[in-house]
Amino acid sequence: MLTQQILQILVDQPVENIIDVYGWVKTRRDSGSISFFEVNDGSCQENLQVITDQSLVNFDTEIKKVSTGSSVHVRGKLVSSPAKGQDVELQAMEMELIGWADPEVYPLQKKRHSFEFLRTIPHLRPRTNALGAVARIRSCLNFAIHRFFKERGFFQVHTPIITTSDCEGAGEMFTVTSLSLDQVVGETGYEHDFFGRRAGLTVSGQLQAEIYAQTLGRVYTFGPTFRAENSHTSRHLAEFWMLEPEMSFCDLQCDMDVAEELIRDLVSIVMKECPQEIELFNRFIDKGLKQRLQKTAEEPFARLTYSAAIDSLKSAEKTFEFPVSWGMDLQSEHERYLCEEILQRPVILYDYPEKIKPFYMRMNDDGTTVAAMDVLVPCIGELVGGSQREERYEKLAERMDDAGLNRNDYDWYLDLRRFGSVPHSGFGLGFDRLIQFVTGMQNIREVIPFPRTPGSAPC
């Protein structure tokens, strides 16, 4: 039986029961002729206390050897615990050592290890309380995302991982080739490559999601995304997970509404479904976490234009590393100052200068800004980036020319504006950044099981 189920049942009605548990030993403590074990099978944050004594036939020969990290099977009687710290405990009738972990060399001992050290052992780090909790929260939110969209009539579309379109136009695509390096001599070499042209790993599924939004109405894609961006920050990964809804007959206002509703819904769910994990992070990682999450779930986000944000940053009594001026791309220090200091809550900025945004965003009537929006949250900065898309053929074609894109490469994208074009919008939510936000973890490398960053892909 899973400890998650055991602990659930017995909180309400402690009964004596014979139960089998399989799991890993978190700690052991010896007191006289009794040994106490904290056993965890991964199903929940809480451990199950197991009590063993001399009455077990293998107590001296085997159980005395059982150490942190060992895997065990215990059959025992579940009883209300007389001691503080747990409601129930398991009085072992049998304990079998399945796999021993030699304490002389097992790297995870009872003391707290730094996250930097844990990154050096990616195969063992999920066994720590914090990283195990992150993994459960990721899974919970992954499921909650699908439920959110299903309940609102969206369809999931599997957009390609290998693509020939650089959606963001930032030149950050990893190339996918079956040729050897010396065969790829410049762009012409790709004619002989696997796909007959240069292909890469997707930087966003948006353009393909737009195709399906124009037939299924409301769709989303959710999968791994890749960027060969040489960023060594605590918010960037070379491989990250992005959720991208795309909605027909939806303008920028509607786009912002869906993004806000989604984030607030996901935050409420994680507080409701993972209370032990959130408690752990609030206690050991970030003391303001619970309060911040509560506020995010309950209060509307602030909304203001990019221009208003620039004005407000300019009049702030703060010296930024990057001086503020209209037309600049906001840096994390500006984004965080806006939502942490000035507005003290998540904020949606919209109507950005067209020069700093990709070609597909819809031009506003002022001719200088586009219908873009970013959701910024405390401690992280940008969590979501989205926009209303340019649905007018001529305007889109002009923006593509300005961006130096070849119309022929995007003829299918332009075609969508020739045949039954509709106003539509969407956004991308960085799933790993969302996990950072709900756990308070400082570094994005701790919230994804296997972080890939410049110079690092250990397993």
CB of 100 closer than 8 Å to CB of 62: no
* Total chain residues near Mg ion (CB under 5 A): 1
Residue 409 amino acid letter: D
CB nearer ligand 4AD, residue 163 or residue 206: 206
Q: Does 391 bind ligand 4AD (CB under 6 A)?
A: no
Q: How far is the CB of 429 from ligand 4AD (least distance, A)?
A: 6
Q: How far is the CB of 6 from ligand 4AD (least distance, A)?
A: 38
CB nearer ligand 4AD, residue 386 or residue 440: 386
CB of 426 closer than 8 Å to CB of 210: yes
Question: Pick from Mg ion, ligand 4AD, none: which does 430 bind, CB < 5 to 8 A by kind?
Answer: ligand 4AD
First-last CA distance in the chain? 32
Q: How far is the CB of 427 from Mg ion (least distance, A)?
A: 9
Q: How far is the CB of 170 from ligand 4AD (least distance, A)?
A: 8
User: And the tokens for 386?
Assistant: 């989205």
Binding-site member from 346, 385, 423, 451 for ligand 4AD (CB under 6 A): 385
List the x/- string, 350-389, binding to Mg ion by CB under 5 A.
Answer: -----------------------------------x----
Q: Does 334 bind ligand 4AD (CB under 6 A)?
A: no
Question: Pick from ligand 4AD, Mg ion, none: which does 204 bind, CB < 5 to 8 A by kind?
Answer: ligand 4AD
The residue with its CB nearest to Mg ion is 385
- How many whole angstroms from its chain centre is CA 280? 18
Binding-site member from 148, 427, 445, 446 for ligand 4AD (CB under 6 A): 427
Residues in 183-242 that interact with ligand 4AD by CB under 6 A: 204, 206, 227, 229, 236-237, 240, 242
CB nearer Mg ion, residue 200 or residue 385: 385
| Block residue for tokens 């959701």 | 375
CB nearer ligand 4AD, residue 432 or residue 446: 432
In this structure, what DSSP letter does residue 364 have?
Answer: P
Give CA angle at 338 (335, 342), nearest 5°: 165
Strand-pair partners of 79 = 89
Q: How far is the CB of 433 from Mg ion (least distance, A)?
A: 11
CA–CA dist 297, 51 (Å, integer): 41
CA–CA dist 62, 395 (Å, integer): 76
Phi, psi of 417, deg, nearest 5: -90, -10
Question: Pick from Mg ion, ligand 4AD, none: which does 346 bind, CB < 5 to 8 A by kind?
Answer: none
Residue 304 amino acid letter: L
Q: How far is the CB of 375 from ligand 4AD (least distance, A)?
A: 8
CA–CA dist 422, 420 (Å, integer): 6
CB nearer Mg ion, residue 88 or residue 243: 243
Q: How far is the CB of 367 from Mg ion (least distance, A)?
A: 22
Binding-site member from 69, 76, 200, 426 for ligand 4AD (CB under 6 A): 426
CB of 426 closer than 8 Å to CB of 247: yes
Q: Does 346 bind Mg ion (CB under 5 A)?
A: no
Strand-pair partners of 155 = 219
Cα–Cα nearest to 316, from 337, 336, 285, 333: 337
Q: Does 168 bind ligand 4AD (CB under 6 A)?
A: yes
Cα–Cα nearest to 378, from 427, 343, 349, 352: 343
Residues in 241-260 that interact with ligand 4AD by CB under 6 A: 242, 244
Q: Does 23 bind ligand 4AD (CB under 6 A)?
A: no
CB nearer Mg ion, residue 39 or residue 252: 252
Select from 55-63, 174-182, 398-406, 425-433 the region that touches ligand 4AD (CB under 6 A). Answer: 425-433
Q: Does 423 bind ligand 4AD (CB under 6 A)?
A: no
Question: Pick from Mg ion, ligand 4AD, none: which does 432 bind, CB < 5 to 8 A by kind?
Answer: ligand 4AD
CB of 358 closer than 8 Å to CB of 399: no
Beta strands at 48-53 and 88-99: parallel, antiparallel or unpaired: parallel
Q: Give 129's contacts (C-beta < 8 A, 6+ positions apart).
A: 45, 280
* Total chain residues near ligand 4AD (CB under 6 A): 22
Q: Give 163's contacts (C-beta < 8 A, 6+ positions apart).
A: 199, 200, 201, 202, 208
Using DSSP's 3-state secondary structure scheme, residue 337 falls into: helix
Q: How far is the CB of 168 from Mg ion (least distance, A)?
A: 8
Which contacts (CB < 8 Å, 24+ apart) does range 109-118 have? 109/68, 110/27, 110/68, 115/442, 115/443, 115/445, 115/446, 118/446
- Binning the chain into helix, strand and coil, the percentages to the nearest 5 are 35, 25, 40
CB nearer ligand 4AD, residue 240 or residue 350: 240
Q: Can you give the binding site for Mg ion, defined by CB under 5 A?
A: 385
Q: Can you give the binding site for ligand 4AD, defined by CB under 6 A?
A: 167-168, 204, 206, 227, 229, 236-237, 240, 242, 244, 382-386, 426-428, 430, 432-433
